[in-house]
Amino acid sequence: MVSKPLVYIVIGSTRVGRAGPAIAQWTRDIAAARSSTVDFRILDLIDFNLPLHSPHIPITGYAQGFVFVTPIYNGSYPGVLKLYLDYLKKEWARKPVGIVSYSHRGGDRAAVQLKNILRSSLQMNVIDPPVLMKLDDVFPIRYAETEGPLSDQINAIVDKICQSIEARTV
């Protein structure tokens, strides 16, 4: 049996009490319902215990696409997510990546900065637009919703990721 292409939905926060896992799970549920051709799985950075200084280690470089689920921390995305990005180099190039970003006021600043790095330094195929979520608006009810404006935005990202993977494999 041929295995499906893998896309990781990366939880970009690791603090105690984080909202990230619930938002990532919600994103994955929508993605899994939308696509039968791609295997969407959660990747929790807390499981890696990333050291600060390391050589290039191609962990997870085999995935064919990514969705980064990231909060705003002090005007940017969390350091643990940058640490993860710095682990890989050529493995990122040309792969499709979506961004789901959140904070109490919306995730715009994390998304803008992350997008720049992914595009200009890592040569990724960044899917626009990112999903920007205000936690006050969405918590906790909408995590269970699979229909609505936010779900439509996730679906748009999923469709573009699947198209990009298909185009790369033919």
Ligand X SMILES: Cc1cc2nc3c(=O)[nH]c(=O)nc-3n(C[C@H](O)[C@H](O)[C@H](O)COP(=O)(O)O)c2cc1C
> Rule CB under 6 A: which residues touch ligand X?
13, 15, 18-20, 71-75, 103-105, 135
Instruction: Check: CB of residue 137 under 8 Å from CB of residue 143.
Output: no
What does each C-alpha distance from 40 to 66, 141, 161 come to in angstroms? 9, 22, 11
Instruction: Check: CB of residue 135 under 8 Å from CB of residue 105.
Output: no
Toward ligand X, which CB reaches closer, 24 or 158? 24
User: Phi-psi category of 44—alpha, beta or left, where left has phi over 0 and alpha has psi -120 to 50?
Assistant: beta
Could you tell me the smallest distance in angstroms from the CB atom of residue 23 to ligand X? 7
Toward ligand X, which CB reaches closer, 101 or 164? 101
Toward ligand X, which CB reaches closer, 72 or 124? 72
Could you tell me the smallest distance in angstroms from the CB atom of residue 101 to ligand X? 9
Toward ligand X, which CB reaches closer, 63 or 135? 135
Could you tell me the smallest distance in angstroms from the CB atom of residue 49 to ligand X? 17
Could you tell me the smallest distance in angstroms from the CB atom of residue 135 to ligand X? 6
